């Protein structure tokens, strides 16, 4: 089974802090994604990466950056956390190919910024 793990299930940070969210997948997937999920807004893509050291902006990249130094690990960085970044953050990974881009999700990190 594909396993996607995230470093924390719950996180509480203060406004202005730098926050790192880590995601690791064990199936050698090329693609990795970061989403945030908010009530009534569904899932919104923050960033994705299709290869090591490659990244692409999603729909809401402002206030975030990412890092992918190794294929299995994709980090989301909040440079200076703000209260409007309180949310559930979901990491996902997928293969690349004719079989489509079925995504496998991690358990999520619920981040609260106070």
Partner 1 sequence: ELKVEQNPLFLSMQEGKNYTIYCNYSTTSDRLYWYRQDPGKSLESLFVLLSNGAVKQEGRLMASLDTKARLSTLHITAAVHDLSATYFCAVEGDDKIIFGKGTRLHILP
| Helix and strand numbers, DSSP H then E, in the chain | 0, 11
Per-residue mark of binding to partner 1, 32-71 (x: CB under 8 A): ---x----xxxx-x------------x-------------
Instruction: Label residues 11-25 b or e (16+ Cβ within 10 Å = b).
Output: bebeeeeebebbbbb
All residues at 6 or more sequence positions from 62 whose CB lies less than 8 Å from its CB, including other chains = none
Selected from 14, 51, 79, 101, the binder of partner 1 by CB under 8 A is: 101
SS3 (DSSP) at 33: strand
Q: Does 97 bind partner 1 (CB under 8 A)?
A: no
CB of 85 to partner 1, least distance (A): 19
Would you count residue 93 as binding partner 1 (CB under 8 A)? no
Q: Which residues bind partner 1 (CB under 8 A)?
A: 35, 40-43, 45, 58, 90, 92, 99-108
């Amino acid at each position: 089974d594909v396993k996607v793990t995230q470093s924390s299930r719950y996180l509480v940070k203060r406004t202005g802090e730098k926050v790192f969210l880590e995601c690791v997948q064990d199936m050698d997937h090329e693609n990795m994604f970061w989403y945030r999920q908010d009530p009534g807004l569904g899932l919104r893509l923050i960033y994705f990466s299709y290869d090591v050291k490659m990244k692409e902006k999603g729909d809401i990249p402002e206030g975030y950056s990412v890092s992918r130094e190794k294929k299995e690990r994709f980090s989301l960085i909040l440079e200076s956390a703000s209260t409007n970044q309180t949310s559930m953050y979901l990491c996902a990974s997928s293969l690349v190919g004719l079989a489509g881009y079925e995504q496998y999700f991690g358990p999520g990190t619920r981040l609260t910024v106070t």
